[in-house]
Each structure stands twice: as structure tokens, then as C-alpha cells.
Homo-oligomer: A and B are copies of this chain.
Amino acid sequence: MKKNVDLPSYEEVIETFKKSFNQVNDEELNQLFFNNNSKLYTRGEDIYHQGRRINGCYFIYSGVVKVFQTGGEGKEQIIRFARKGDLIGFRSVINQELACTSAKTVDNAILYYIPSSILIKLLKTNPEFSYQIIRLVCKELGESNCYITDIAQKTVKERLAEILTMLISDFGLDDDKVLQITITREELANMVGTATESVIRLLSEFKTEKIIETKGRKLRILNPRILSEIAKSY
């Protein structure tokens, strides 16, 4: 587990950033990344914390980050998993309010910090970039709205199948059909919005139905099709 990871060069960060946001010119890129403050985070490290002040957002160069809210009883609700090329924390920056989510790494990750002032200046001066951000936020809003309906109307089984389907399409399977993101049962439960034990029982069901196999935290998806069948229910 003690891989020696090199931090990316200026050029590598910019290359990755351009893949997500292609409307930013060289001078602006330079402003965003001139002081190259990328940082390596190891699994489980806090990036920012709900209720705290947040003075900038983070661009994910590599790794996986969970964005979540902590409810009344201290239970996490995972809003999304963010990965390479994603921007996190900008919502609170833009609204200039305390962070209303927390973010924590799920996998070793390299993040690049972007101060509020630079992001906001870019938004106010570059309409094309601004438009890309609008589309991005609108997309997330659409997803959130759909998830409200799902969580209000679907059974836990349907939602679990849906989350698995989503993880498959976001993170993919390897040649051996193993899902390329490793998360605990609890994290899966916090994503689905249910108890850990319920997730475990349903995964067992899926196993007896030959839809998946499990080995520790590795999930082998034998039949993605049926999962998305179960998920939709309409």
C-alpha cells in the first residue's frame, strides 16, 4: 500500500483540467495553476467539512472522493462519488456560504486547490467557462432531483440495484467483471440511504440469484443487465 506517488507536473494538471473544461485559455489556466499547489491525500482524509468555512474548491487530478452530508444522528448520506476531472466544493464557494457537505477521500487522491477569488473571477469574465459550469450544475441538479424521487418511492432493493448500476457506469468493470471502485458496505449503505445490514442482506440475495459474487470488498458483477432491470421498475 505504500506506493510512492509523484505529484503531477504543471503540464499534467493542465492537461487533465482541459479535458473537463476546454473553454479556458492559457493565461487563465496559468492563473488557476501557477503556484502548483496540488496535494496528495490518503484514504479517509478530510478535504473539507460541513458547516465550516470554505475558501476555495478542489480539482480532482486522480483518485476518488466521497461528498456527503451528516444527518441528525451522525449518519452519513453520500451525495456522490467524485473522481478524476471533477470539481468539488464550488457550490459553497459560489453561494458564499458555509460548506453544506463534507468531502473525504475513498482512495488515495491528488487534489488541486483553487482559491475562491480565482474561480469567481473566471466565472465573471469568461462566459463560455461560465456556461460550462452552468451546464454542470444543472446536470447535477437533475440527478439530485431524480434521486429524491427514487429515495421517496423506490424500495431499498431497487435503489441498491440502481446505485450499483451507476457505479458500474461511472467506474467500470475490469476484464474479470470486478467493479473498479472499492468501498465498504457501510459506504454503500450511506449512498443508498439505508442500514448497513440491509445492504448486506440484499447483496446476499443478489449472490444467491447469481447476479453478483463478492470477495471481501471486491464486487464481481455477473449480470449488470438484471441489476438495471431491478433498478428501474418502470
Contact = CB atoms under 8 A, between A and B. Distances in A.
Nearest to A101: B145
A138 B137 contact: yes
A95 B193 CA distance: 27
Identical copies in the complex: 2
Interface stretch (A2-10, A25-33, A122-130, A200-208): A122-130
A145 B100 contact: yes
Contact of A151 (B130, B134, B135, B148): B148
Interface stretch (A12-20, A65-73, A221-229): A65-73
A167 B189 CA distance: 31
Contacts of A69: 145-146, 148-149
A138 B94 contact: yes
**Interface bracket on A:** 35 or more
Contacts of A72: 153-154, 232-234
Interface in A86-105: 90-92, 94-95, 97, 100-101
SS class, residues of chain A in contact with chain B: helix
Contacts of A144: 141, 144-145, 148
A193 B153 contact: yes
B73 A234 contact: yes
A131 B154 CA distance: 36
A145 to B, nearest CB: 5
13 contacts: A71-B150, A71-B153, A75-B153, A79-B148, A91-B141, A101-B145, A123-B131, A126-B127, A134-B137, A137-B137, A137-B141, A140-B141, A152-B193
